[in-house]
Structure 1
Amino acid sequence: MNVLVTGAGGFIGSHMVDHLLEKGHSVTGLDIFSRGKEEHLPSKQYGNLLRLIQADVSDRTALREKYFRGVDWVFHFAGRSSNVKSLENPPEYHAVNATGTLNMLIAAHKAKVKRFVYAASYSCYGQPRKFPTPETALLKPEFPYALTKLAGERYTLHWHRAFGLPTISLRMTSVYGPKIRTGGNFGPVVSLFVGQKTDRKPFTVAGDGSQSRDFVYIDDVVEAFLAAARSDVAGEVFNVGSGRSVSLNRLVELLGGPVTYVSRRPGEVNKTLADIKKIKKYLGWTPKVRFNHGIRRVLESAGQTVKPGFNVRTIRPSTNRRKGGHV
């Protein structure tokens, strides 16, 4: 297959590129490479199978027709992905996540691409009222990031209904795995905690740590996107998660290290848990990697080790509680 992957230098995109090349597919990796890391991608051992293009999906003129010529599948991962930072710059998030997706759909339809799989987000549910959360749940995005990702999904589904482009949207929960970006004060909690562990700093847990997340391992996510591409199903939305919710206290227990408890950010979701019955039924996909095994792989890839069965030492400041948060 000839496959185009946007956001190819990013966390999820680079894993997809690795997998496709290992299976002998021809890959065009498109990325602006301002946030995606080109060093995540192989450059020599796959020869002509890999072509890297520096382009911004929000710039329609940059998406040249020749990039899409002969492409069978498009995996669209390019986008901005921080709830907090989206509050600081909503226009940028709209330009990349919404307009960028629209630009990709126009180009893919013109090139008669066979499958277009969109990387959507569980965050479109906002504060879910039902767990596990099905695809039919109320959509109530609470941050510009979530709103713009939902706009991209709406465009994706519309392009199937209006123009016949075979599209699928996959709403992912909290994806983790090797090569996840670390550091910063806000963002996916696994990336924050792994960065803190690498820097030998205490884990900053917002609230009491009882809030929980549906963590899904990167290899399982790659398989979900491949299942969507191989399927004849089109114009549908599927949740992609583990089907289990793990507390932040359990996460730091697995990671191992001291903990500092900080104030929770207003609006932070208390729990995420995706209902994955639909994707199991229609795409035949089931997550395989257990959370403790996945965390071990993340730590090993970061040069760290994890020792199961240890006790967690905590640091609970009585004053000057700092504000923090994670998604």
Structure 2
Amino acid sequence: MKKTSIVTGGAGFIGSHMVDYLISKGHFVIIIDNLSSGKKKNIQKHLKNKKAFLINCQIEHFKISQIRVKKIEFIFHFAGIGSIVPSITDPKKYIKTNVTGTLNILEQTKYIKYKKFVYAASSSCYGIAKTPTSEHHRISTVYPYSLSKFMGEQLCVHWNSVYKLPICSIRIFNAYGSRISFDGGYGAMFPVFMKQILKKRPLTIVGDGKQKRDFIHVTDLVKAFYCVAKSKKIGEIYNVGTGKPISVIKIAKILSDKIEFIQKRPGEPDITHANIKKITKHTKWRPKINMQNGIKDMVKNIDNWKNAPIWNKHKIARATKKWFEYLK
């Protein structure tokens, strides 16, 4: 009999890759997604082949009665709002989905049998951190998105401690790869760049571009989630990145020779750099995809972003006006 796992947000960027990987490992997957930012086309082949089943609902409204399986292998919780900048103007929306939604999935699955629940947390909880950043670093939630993701993680930690549920959390650094979403307003660098390349526009670089980010390819990332799910460790928090930060300007120059610089945003670190010693010690996981190959994969699939909005410095200034106002 096939193992059955649940992936919330399973039609989205990371979630759909998680679904792909689980199915490659012989799992049947129950996907919970309201398709607000996730795309049905990301999972269509699995639905057609009856290797997955979609429950179309908001995560805060999900009921366990919507599934009939009594025994679940793993639960991967990706459902949530991921765009950082818009959280400054609509924090209530982020708390509702990222916190209340997490509470609901924890409560709805509390009385079914499962081997591991893995929460998708964010490294943004560290704020402007000392690097390389370990899991013991102080928490500094600078904007509503980071607060909402950390509150969701705290619920998971509490449910593990009080209800003895087998839960772990992964603090994702800077995920990238095919299917990365562009529907959440101005935010993630790569969708902005891909559309600018398609339209032959200059790439907009925040600040001088010397800021570095610890980018982790989505293929490596979902394997980390799977390794943590398979591990006997419970109640653990793990950083996941490559441990090899790269500057934004270096990435931009790989992609294009047309570049323009825009004002640096307050509240954003000059570098993100994951200390990944803990996850590599507790599991067999190692990141394998380097930035050059990761970028080649994205460029090969660049048409994924043909319907993305085109951003220029004027539109970005309007979209980030409140960010500058509140975080200056």
User: Do they fold alike, i.e. is TM over 0.5?
Assistant: yes
Can you list the C-alpha shifts for 1:218-237, whole angstroms capped at 9, x where unaligned?
Answer: 11001000001100100010
Give matches, 1:222-237, under 5 Å: 222-237=222-237
Aligned letter for 1:11?
Answer: F
The code of the aligned residue for 1:288 comes to K
Work out the number of aligned pairs and report it: 310
Q: 2:161 aligned with 1:161, yes or no?
A: yes
Residue correspondence of structure 1 range 30-179 to structure 2 within 5 A: 30-43=32-45, 47-60=49-62, 62-64=63-65, 66=67, 69-128=70-129, 130-179=130-179
CA distance in 1, matches of 2:150, 2:68: 26
Shift of 1:99: 1.0
Alpha-carbon shift at residue 46 of structure 1 (Å): 6.1
In the alignment, the residues of structure 1 paired with residue 48 and residue 61 of structure 2 have an alpha-carbon distance, to the nearest angstrom, of: 29
Q: Structure 2 vs 1, CA of residues 184 and 158 (structure 1 numbering), >3 Å: closer, same or farther?
A: closer
**Structure 2 unaligned blocks of 5 or more:** 305-312, 324-328
Counterpart for residue 271 of structure 1: 271
Q: Which amino acid aligns with 2:50?
A: N
Runs of 4+ in 1 over 2 A off after TM superposition: 42-49, 62-70, 181-186, 321-326
Matched AA of 2:230: R
Check conservation: 1:174, 1:188, Cα contact below 8 A: no
- Secondary structure at 1:180's aligned position in 2? coil
One-letter amino acid of the counterpart of residue 149, structure 1: K
In the TM superposition, what is the alpha-carbon distance from 1:183 to its structure 2 partner?
7.2
2:295 aligned partner, one-letter code: I
Contact 1:178–1:297 under 8 Å retained in 2: yes
Q: Which runs of 5+ in 1 are unaligned?
A: 305-316
* TM-score normalized with structure 1 length: 0.89
Question: Quick one: distance in 2 between partners of 1:183 and 1:31?
Answer: 15
Return closer, same or farther for 1:284/1:252 CA change in 2, 3 Å cut-off.
same
Counterpart code for 2:187: G
Q: Deviations over 1:81-101 (max 9, x none)?
A: 122111111111111111111
- Which residue matches 2:310? none
User: Is the contact between residue 8 and residue 32 of structure 2 (CA under 8 Å) also seen in structure 1?
Assistant: yes
Aligned-residue sequence identity (percent) comes to 37
Deviations 1:109-155 (A, max 9, x none): 21122210000000000110x21100000100111110010011011
Q: Distance in 1 between matches of 2:318 and 2:210?
A: 17
Q: Give the Å deviation of 1:322.
A: 5.0
Separation of aligned partners in 2, 1:111 and 1:125: 33
TM-score (norm 2): 0.89
